[in-house]
Structure 1
Amino acid sequence: MKVIIASRNPKSKTFPITLDLAGDASSLTLTDVSKALHQKLPKYTPDRQRITTQDKKVLVDDKSLADLGLKDGDTLQFKDLGPQIGWRTVFLIEYAGPMLLHPIFYYLPKLIYRSGFEHSSLQKWTFAMVMLHFLKRELETLFVHRFSHGTMPFFNVFKNSAHYWFLSGINLAYWVYGPWFAQGEKLAVRSDVWIYGCVAVWAWAELSNLITHVTLRNLRPPGTRVRAIPFGYGFDLVSCPNYLFETIAWTAVCFLTTSWSAFLFNVVATGQMYVWAVKKHKNYKKEFSTYPRNRKAMIPFIA
């Protein structure tokens, strides 16, 4: 079977090219096309290819070309996604930022603030919560998460990391660990009930977030892109309880510190997670006709 690959870049001097595939439309898949293109042009690894129909319709990898409506001699459109980096690596880089930056601000106040001081309970608990949160995220990345997409464009790692390295890294650390929140300062005064109440809510939300991540992991067998409807703790109310619980955890940090920097990070993070939740919620409803209608995207009973 012959398939013509044309570039979406009209100035391309490499395309169009013709691929001669061993088989027919009923036995070949888009994965076979991708591998053949990589064999002919080694620069374009399967991860950096986006192959669509001429009207830019996205094709499913594991369906036969016949099922996709393709026949001998048809033309497909190719887009180069650029150099790629693994999602797992991206997550590890993102979460490493706060884990490296917070200890610098916490343990080296003379270097950062030009003065030494004793940390308050507020600062000690905030430091512990932030470090444990990102340690949990690193461990989840290594041992829990299963990714439906193996890679992303390499240069996106800088954009994605900026959110964590600057907003939850430098921004949060500088303002929370400063002398204005030090032991003995009026701004640092918190009752034990206030402190331990915030810590308790944070701990419950972090544990709940982990439970939902494990639930999602168990839906996808290793090495597959299988999708299924999640049920159980949190999922009876919303499609993305992992985002809901993460928002609650950071809200607890906000109320513990009452720092504008924590609220800024939380607002930006929650806004982004809500956008992702709405998209996933719509995909669930589109993909599964039996998807529970009473679920919301991220906020129970609301949205």
Structure 2
Amino acid sequence: MGSKPGKQGFSVEVPATASVADLKSAIALKKKHLYPSRQRLSLVSESSKRLTDETKLTDISNGLLKDGLEFKLKDLGPQISWTTVFLVEYAGPLLIHPLFFYCPKLWYGKNFEHSALQKYVFAFVMLHFLKRELETLFVHRFSHATMPWFNIVKNSGHYHILSGVLLAFDIYRPKYSATSPYILNTIRNDEQFLWICTGIWLYAELSNLHTHLKVRSLRPPGSTKRAIPYGYGFNLVSLPNYFFEIIAWTTISVMTNSAAAWLFTIVATGQMALWAIKKHKNYKKEFGKEYPRARKAMIPFLL
């Protein structure tokens, strides 16, 4: 069967039983730089609708394959895997925070005893990003295998600078040390307060993990299929993982009242809100009347 990608001046031959993924592979053989993940295919008649790799060409044409199909081909540019991007961006804080925590003289000009608050926050940050790395390797199943390569610069900047350098520099400085007036005889040095914060943070992190595992269970390996999630967290919002992450970072911000911690929490909340609203709209569009209408996008009853 002849398939012609848009008005690119070439055609490729694929079997009548081929899928969009097969067509992309055939295009890649003819145009070496256009490897499959770099391609976006849509019908010329429906140029705004992206065709998924699993789509069969016979389904597109309703079984009528006479003179071939005409597609619009868009070059998405150099790509990099989602897994690589996530591993690199989360690795930043895992490397940066120990440098500030264990080498205070290098950054602040002197050694000092860390307070219990600093030790708790250090543990929280390290465990959070270690969890994110493990989820990337063993939990997440991505709808798309790759993203534009520049995203690794943009995403890494967010994590390496805001939750890496700025957060570490601010929280591990002498102001928060064991002998600082900001800590001594205050709630920040109260063991009960620290344990309460630990309980809230741990609840948020475990709840976040639970939602990731729930979404994973709805997507078979090697598939981009989506289903409506129900149960804990999902009864109120479409993206409870974002909500629980906000709770975790807000806990750290309240514990320290650090300007850097609040900055990261606010920026991260804004970014997650944009993602949540977009994904919430996609859920409603994809599942229509089946999707629970009372759900909010990210924050119960509000957003």
Return the letter of the residue paired with 1:132.
L
* Structure 1 residue 73 displacement after superposition: 4.2
Match in the other structure for 1:44: 34
Question: Any unmatched runs of 5+ in structure 1?
Answer: 8-14
Classify the secondary structure of the residue corresponding to 2:57.
Answer: coil
How many angstroms apart in 2 are the aligned matches of 1:206 and 1:22? 48
Q: In the alignment, is residue 142 of structure 1 matched against residue 137 of structure 2?
A: yes
Match in the other structure for 2:274: 275
Match in the other structure for 1:124: 119
Q: In the alignment, is residue 301 of structure 1 matched against residue 294 of structure 2?
A: no
How many angstroms apart in 1 are the aligned matches of 2:141 and 2:49? 26
Match in the other structure for 1:60: 52
Match in the other structure for 1:32: 22
How many angstroms apart in 2 are the aligned matches of 1:124 and 1:286? 46
Change (3 A) 1:81 1:298: same
Could you tell me whether the CA contact under 8 Å between 1:59 and 1:68 is conserved in 2? no
Return the letter of the residue paired with 1:5.
P
- Could you tell me the TM-score, scaled by structure 1's length? 0.92
RMSD of aligned Cα (Å): 1.5
Return the letter of the residue paired with 1:21.
V
Deviations 1:124-145 (A, max 9, x none): 1110100011111111111111
Structure 1 window deviating more from structure 2 (64-73 vs 177-186): it is 64-73
Deviations 1:74-108 (A, max 9, x none): 43221212222111111111100000000000000
Q: Find 1:156's aligned residue among 140, 151, 154.
A: 151
Classify the secondary structure of the residue corresponding to 2:199.
Answer: helix
Match in the other structure for 2:220: 221
Return the letter of the residue paired with 1:60.
T
* Structure 1 residue 62 displacement after superposition: 2.2
Return the letter of the residue paired with 1:181.
Y
How many angstroms apart in 1 are the aligned matches of 2:202 and 2:111? 30
* Structure 1 residue 5 displacement after superposition: 2.1
Classify the secondary structure of the residue corresponding to 1:277.
Answer: helix
How many pairs are equivalent?
A: 293
Counting only pairs closer than 5 Å after superposition, residues 91-110 of structure 1 correspond to structure 2 as 91-110=86-105
Deviations 1:256-294 (A, max 9, x none): 111010000000111111111111111111111311111
Match in the other structure for 1:165: 160
How many angstroms apart in 2 are the aligned matches of 1:210 and 1:259? 26
How many angstroms apart in 2 are the aligned matches of 1:178 and 1:243? 29
Classify the secondary structure of the residue corresponding to 2:290.
Answer: coil
How many angstroms apart in 1 are the aligned matches of 2:68 and 2:219? 36
Structure 1 window deviating more from structure 2 (49-58 vs 228-237): it is 49-58
Match in the other structure for 1:88: 83
Q: In the alignment, is residue 200 of structure 1 matched against residue 202 of structure 2?
A: no
Structure 1 window deviating more from structure 2 (257-266 vs 39-48): it is 39-48
Could you tell me whether the CA contact under 8 Å between 1:90 and 1:157 is conserved in 2? yes
How many angstroms apart in 2 are the aligned matches of 1:257 and 1:209? 22
How many angstroms apart in 1 are the aligned matches of 2:260 and 2:171? 8
Match in the other structure for 2:256: 257
* Structure 1 residue 56 displacement after superposition: 3.3
How many angstroms apart in 2 are the aligned matches of 1:3 and 1:153? 26
Which 4+ runs in 1 deviate beyond 6 A? none
Classify the secondary structure of the residue corresponding to 2:157.
Answer: helix
Return the letter of the residue paired with 1:28.
A
Classify the secondary structure of the residue corresponding to 2:3.
Answer: strand
Classify the secondary structure of the residue corresponding to 1:76.
Answer: strand
Question: Any unmatched runs of 5+ in structure 2?
Answer: none
Could you tell me whether the CA contact under 8 Å between 1:56 and 1:77 is conserved in 2? no
How many angstroms apart in 2 are the aligned matches of 1:251 and 1:68? 48
* Structure 1 residue 66 displacement after superposition: 4.0
How many angstroms apart in 2 are the aligned matches of 1:160 and 1:145? 17
Percent identity over the alignment is: 54
